[in-house]
Amino acid sequence: MSALSSLIEYSRLIAEIPDTYPLVQLSTLSLWPIDSRRAVLKGEIRFARDIRLRVLEVLNLRKGQILEYGYEVYRGGEKLYWYDPWPHFDDPAIATTFPHHKHVPPDIKHNRLPAPGLSFTEPNLPFLIDEISKMLSQ
């Protein structure tokens, strides 16, 4: 069973983030049910060097799926990049991971890369935290 299928299991995964990932300084993530089948995850994870990961997920717990998400990474007030699943049907650059993609500078709104680490059926937080941890260790 995926952690996305259980409010309790996903809550446990979220609560363990600061202990599991040493570079995480603070997590304000909150998970709450909308109704008997849906839940919302929202908040931030803070890292060294003023790096923040802002998280929004809407989950279908019965299906064990992320229905919607948005992940934004900031350094101070500067948005470094973000991930979303908005379907850009006309962008062949992201066809390999459609609809998952990453927005990056220089034209952050229109410059997109494939996002092979993201999924609707598995938790995305481990991938995102690992990516930031690698960035901080360089």
Q: Which domain holds residue 78?
A: 3-137
Distances (CA, A) of 40 to 6, 59, 93: 13, 6, 30
pLDDT-derived band at 87, boundaries 50, 70, 90:
confident
pLDDT-derived band at 1, boundaries 50, 70, 90:
low
| Residue whose pair of structure tokens reads 């850009």 in the numeric block | 88
The SS3 of residue 96 is: helix
Count: domains in the chain = 1
Cβ-Cβ contacts under 8 Å for 114 (sequence gap 6 or more): 93, 94, 95, 96, 97, 100, 101, 102
Average pLDDT, the chain: 94
